[in-house]
Structure 1
């Protein structure tokens, strides 16, 4: 698929979401836009692309952006980041925050919510170590429909069996007619909010831990650099950043540096911490 309408759509998606589409991804574009074209009564993807180029409504543009985003997520995805959170990240933070007794965690590009709820389980399972603490998990995504799903805390059998142990399923979920509902104790810990990573981090506050996993892989180097700089400005000087296993900051940004021996875990560089302070 190559046409002025397709080229315009690629530029539009990059502007709105940072996602880079190439001619080789035409099949992906067609398969994801086809249901939207039918739902809007436009018949074909070509008609939808023409309308988007001619000047579609903001609502339709956002729908097109939403369907192009990849919403792949599951509980305790890749396992290692959550083990690092429990064993390498939280213990020193708990020691350093004994006076204020509060922790803030940001799950950026949270998709359908499995990641922030997994984080909430880790915090709850710390037991007495965090008893009486103020624990705030902010979960953001640019897609409002996916956030509405996440905020319900309702997952089907396939979703709860993907990455979730039977013990945690029994402890933190309740069986309902339509699936499995996250316990109120976990839901109360997580706040869902629309947010586009391209817009920076102003207004979000400062976080002790940031999860920004499996999203940078979709961006070009300059967009990755901008997002990492935004994220760094939202981190406490002694905060931690967790990226996906296929993601790296090497050759992209010097704002954070890898923690030796812990793949995917990053801390602010000394220079970045000094500038922040």
Structure 2
């Protein structure tokens, strides 16, 4: 016999969840996303022993348990990722942006990169592999990897991936060079780990104790925020970005119409953004 289908989350409960994630993480859940909330919160509801997601949310409203509420926020953050996602972006970094950056930085300068919304780590480790291949041998670098979700950040920090995850975009030569077999999975090698720091950070909140970065990768995350929040995030990014540093967004994202203090420059398949006061004769996007 087929099990009865669980009733969809109620309108009141959806409204509560929408308000919660907007307040805590500035993530916008528009009406029509009920299916997403239902799917993401179903494991939490099962773990709590409640009959449905609506029951789980109603119980959460009554208890006010902060840890459980944050678990809901983490469950509703999107963590879709893969190795070298959007290859044109990484090719533009390799052939254009990194050489340009090295040409204007002393070899004694430590290049600093920030991978915001790092998720389970594929992007930050992809960046680390790219830097290992592309930077001058004497060039030092540091990478900060952040995410709002402690759960996915811990996975990234652990650096262990299944064979299925490894198959999503990782070139064979990088597998051999940078990873170690561990049972049925793979572990990131020490060479990639040594220059990466992982830290929980909410992009919608003030940035605390961040250094100045040469490159900020903030890809495929602004699309989840409303316009005022996007504007606030971009303003704070400019405050921690070197005056001639670069911001890299997702291929479907842009600063246009949100923050006019950035100028877009196209490098082949990569569009990067820098503070507008550092305009140059480069072809504008």
TM (normalized to structure 2)? 0.90
Tell me, what secondary structure is at the counterpart of 2:176?
Answer: helix
Say if 2:107 and 2:138, in contact at 8 Å, map to a contact too.
no
Aligned pairs, how many? 270
2:115 alignment partner, one of 102, 107, 110: 107
2:274 alignment partner, one of 248, 257, 267: 267
Separation in structure 1 between the aligned mates of residue 60 and residue 258 of structure 2, nearest angstrom: 33
Q: Residue in 1 aligned with 2:182? A: 176
Q: Residue in 2 aligned with 1:5? A: 13
Separation in structure 2 between the aligned mates of residue 34 and residue 162 of structure 1, nearest angstrom: 26
Say if 1:13 and 1:65, in contact at 8 Å, map to a contact too.
yes
- 1:74 lines up with 2:87 in the alignment: no
Tell me, what secondary structure is at the counterpart of 1:125?
Answer: helix
Q: Residue in 2 aligned with 1:49? A: 57
Instruction: Give the superposed CA RMSD.
Output: 1.7
- CA displacement at 1:5 relative to structure 2: 2.9
- 1:186 lines up with 2:192 in the alignment: yes
- CA displacement at 1:96 relative to structure 2: 1.9
Say if 1:228 and 1:255, in contact at 8 Å, map to a contact too.
no
CA displacement, residues 36-65 of structure 1 (integer Å, 9 cap, x when unaligned): 011022231112211232243111011101
Give matches, 1:229-244, under 5 Å. 229-244=235-250
- 1:208 lines up with 2:201 in the alignment: no
Say if 1:135 and 1:189, in contact at 8 Å, map to a contact too.
yes
- 1:32 lines up with 2:40 in the alignment: yes
1:133 alignment partner, one of 135, 139, 150: 139
CA displacement, residues 66-112 of structure 1 (integer Å, 9 cap, x when unaligned): 11111011110001121121122211221222153310000000000
Tell me, what secondary structure is at the counterpart of 2:33?
Answer: helix
- 1:96 lines up with 2:65 in the alignment: no
- CA displacement at 1:233 relative to structure 2: 1.1
Separation in structure 1 between the aligned mates of residue 162 and residue 49 of structure 2, nearest angstrom: 30
Say if 2:107 and 2:139, in contact at 8 Å, map to a contact too.
no
Say if 1:2 and 1:23, in contact at 8 Å, map to a contact too.
no
Tell me, what secondary structure is at the counterpart of 1:65?
Answer: helix
- CA displacement at 1:30 relative to structure 2: 0.8
Separation in structure 2 between the aligned mates of residue 99 and residue 163 of structure 1, nearest angstrom: 32
Separation in structure 1 between the aligned mates of residue 266 and residue 149 of structure 2, nearest angstrom: 34
Deviates more, 1:78-87 or 1:240-249: 78-87
Tell me, what secondary structure is at the counterpart of 1:192?
Answer: strand
Looking at secondary structure, tell me which structure has more helix per residue: 1
Gaps of 5+ in 1: 273-277
How has the CA–CA distance of structure 1 residues 174 and 271 changed in structure 2, closer, same or farther, with 3 Å as cutoff? closer
Q: Residue in 2 aligned with 1:254? A: 260
How has the CA–CA distance of structure 1 residues 261 and 124 changed in structure 2, closer, same or farther, with 3 Å as cutoff? closer
- CA displacement at 1:3 relative to structure 2: 3.0
Separation in structure 2 between the aligned mates of residue 261 and residue 156 of structure 1, nearest angstrom: 33
Gaps of 5+ in 2: 1-8, 280-285
